[in-house]
A and B are shown apart, each in its own frame.
Chain A
Amino acid sequence: MSAPPTTVPPKVAPGTAESFKLEGELPMVDKPAVPFVEIETVRAQEFIPAAKEALSALIAEQGQNKVIRPAFNWAGRNSLFPLHWGLACCAIEFASAFSARWDSERFGIVPRSSPRQCDLMIVNGTVTWKVAHKLITLYEQMPEPKWVIAMGNCATGGGPFRTAYSVVPGVDKLVPVDVYIAGCPPRPEAMIDGILRLEELIRARKE
């Protein structure tokens, strides 16, 4: 298959039968039949200036801090997506909080399995030195802005295992913590209350 044109859009419309050559290799093997970059560039060239214009008009009209940031803040604090992982005992109460009895989802709290979709890390259990660098990796993979809740005594300060040789005495030695929830383990109500406190913190940031 010949190399796709680099500057002009291809003559063959993408997605039609002609765009796929059945003999020989499939079009997607080495490089896309239609250069994605090109399409994106064309679209972006049309879209970005228009969007910029509209946004700057809006900001000039109402002021950045009054429109964008409150809207972003409101949306962010009401849809906190915690990372779905279970460290220890508190993870069971974490799971209970999403059951029918407590139903955390009515507060917009939906656990996600990928750190890239999360903005809240709930450290629900004992952190050991073996898992410490993996916890930091997960934290770094989360997009900004992000928050951390230390759930339970172990995550707060080591709990009953603080003297053990393998336990990190508090997750705040590894990542910055915004809210600490006491309890061993905290009840699901306490966990939901902790998240609501975090929402207040986010609201107070005013950005």
Chain B
Amino acid sequence: MQSEDLAKALAPVLGDRVLGVEPFAKTAGRVRFRADAALDVFHAVKETLGFHHLSMVGGIDWVTHREVFYVAWSDALRQYILLSTDIPAEAPHIESATPVWPAANWHERETWELVDITFDHHPDLRHLLLPDGYTFHPLLRSFKLHEPEELEVKKRSV
């Protein structure tokens, strides 16, 4: 399936909730959609187009805004599809994909703690990789890495 076929297949189901379909390296295409219609898009992509396997959810911090992307796989088409949406950097949130793809659970937990994107109605949104109580989000561009501070070395007393 090429991106034109994808656009044709999606247009009657989703209408203007899809902002554009563009070709994307070695996949069926990249679908840009409106963030407030996320659940409809997920449903349509899974049920209408048959992308049953969600393989990845990730976030990118573009400083001015943030991008959430989803990669799904269809066994019938043997192709990937990339869904992406832009959300504002202030109070970034989007509807969780877990009702449609249960596989999104841990991916969204990870994206929440690393890129600071809140997934509404997520069943279990808590820290996964970082310890409980961490407040920073390391994959934001504002978070800089630095050489470790000098810490005291423990010496054996005897």
Contacts and interface: CB of A to CB of B under 8 A. Distances in A.
A touching B, CB within 8 angstroms: yes
Interface of A: 129-130, 158, 162-166, 169-170, 172-178
Contact of B148 (A130, A169, A175): A169
Most A CB within 10 A of own CB, among B147, B148, B155 = B148
B8 interface: no
Main secondary structure of the interface of B (DSSP, over half): loop
A146 B148 CA distance: 28
Contacts of A170: 151, 153
Contacts, number: 35
Interface of B: 130-131, 136, 138, 143, 145-148, 151-157
A163 B144 CA distance: 10
A163 B131 contact: no
A172 B148 contact: no
27 contacts: A129-B131, A130-B130, A130-B131, A158-B148, A162-B148, A163-B145, A163-B146, A164-B145, A165-B136, A165-B138, A165-B143, A166-B130, A166-B138, A169-B151, A170-B151, A170-B153, A172-B153, A172-B154, A173-B151, A173-B152, A173-B154, A174-B154, A175-B154, A176-B154, A176-B155, A176-B156, A178-B156
Given A163-B145, A173-B152, 13 more contacts: A130-B130, A162-B147, A163-B146, A163-B147, A163-B148, A165-B143, A166-B130, A166-B138, A170-B151, A172-B153, A172-B154, A173-B153, A174-B154
A178 B147 CA distance: 25
